[in-house]
Structure 1
């Protein structure tokens, strides 16, 4: 089950207090954008979601296929250009892997649930509840 994410005002100009189940996080923007830089920005959280999901998916797949993948470092950069979000994802694979295994893992990276969500159709329903 995916837990609800909740956000409410924090301190300063932009800070938000986030709660996801028992986890508490902060979101903010950099000082150059008017924030206090007390936490990642929403776009940075989005990049982290794609990076962590990709790495988890690679770890799971490699384990199931008994591949010698010892680590995967996934770096995601998000840019906004002409109202289009561009995700640049770099994947470093570590371990003794054959070239075919590396290529298969690259294919599997595109099958992570967050990749599918971001590249598929998205629907957002918004309603006032008070």
Structure 2
């Protein structure tokens, strides 16, 4: 395996939809809500997608603020997307960014532009190809 790649492993046994996710030595659960047969013991796959974008956005903004010594105290990212069964090629993610700190309008606008530099954002706005094989 190429050490420059990010990897993840997901496992699902006969438990209805509760999926174990392993990546980089860390572990989380994904699941579906009870109304569709899951146990609601983890984030849905759509929520995990939003979590990836939100955390990447916040980290990218924080890194920029730290490098430029901008007095950013906190970042909060609010994200929404349609239900998974409604997703299509035209699916839209809404992202609202809250910045806390004694920031100028210029600093706020620059950090808004920096948000789009996050690697997950860049990946999601471009066509993604998925190669699938049986193991």
Residue 21 of structure 1 is matched in structure 2 by 24
Instruction: Give, in angstroms, the shift of residue 85 of structure 1.
Output: 2.4
Q: Aligned pair count? A: 129
Structure 1 residue runs of 5 or longer lacking an equivalent are none
Does the CA-based 8 Å contact 1:15-1:29 persist in structure 2? yes
2:106 aligned with 1:100: yes
CA distance in structure 2 between the aligned counterparts of 1:38 and 1:111, rounded to whole angstroms: 32
Instruction: Give, in angstroms, the shift of residue 20 of structure 1.
Output: 0.9
Query: What SS does structure 2 have at the residue aligned with 1:36?
Result: coil
Question: Which structure has greater strand proportion?
Answer: 1
Does the CA-based 8 Å contact 1:13-1:36 persist in structure 2? yes
Structure 2 residue runs of 5 or longer lacking an equivalent are none
CA deviation string 1:67-104 (max 9, x = no partner): 11111101111215462322111110000000011011
TM-score by length of 1: 0.91
Structure 1 runs (4+) deviating above 4 angstroms are: none
TM-score by length of 2: 0.88
